[in-house]
Amino acid sequence: MATVTDVTDATFETEVLKADKPTLVDFWASWCGPCRMLSPIIEQLATEYGDKINFTKIDADANPQVTSSQSVLGLPTVKVFSGGQVVKQFTGARSKGAVKKMLDEIVG
Structural domains in the chain, sorted by start: 5-107 (3.40.30.10)
Task: Please pick, among 35, 38, 80, 102, the residue that the annotation labels catalytic.
Answer: 35
Q: Do residues 92 and 84 touch, judged by C-beta distance below 8 A?
A: no
Task: Please pick, among 7, 24, 25, 32, the residue that the annotation labels catalytic.
Answer: 32
Q: 32 an active-site residue? A: yes
Looking at residue 1, what is its pLDDT? 59
Per-residue pLDDT of the chain (108 residues; tens, 9 = 90+): 579 999 999 999 999 999 999 999 999 999 999 999 999 999 999 999 989 999 999 999 999 999 999 999 999 999 999 999 999 999 999 999 999 999 999 998
List phi, psi (to 5°) of 102: -60, -45
Give the separation between CA 58 and CA 90, rounded to whole angstroms: 15
Looking at residue 108, what is its pLDDT? 84
pTM, to two decimals = 0.96
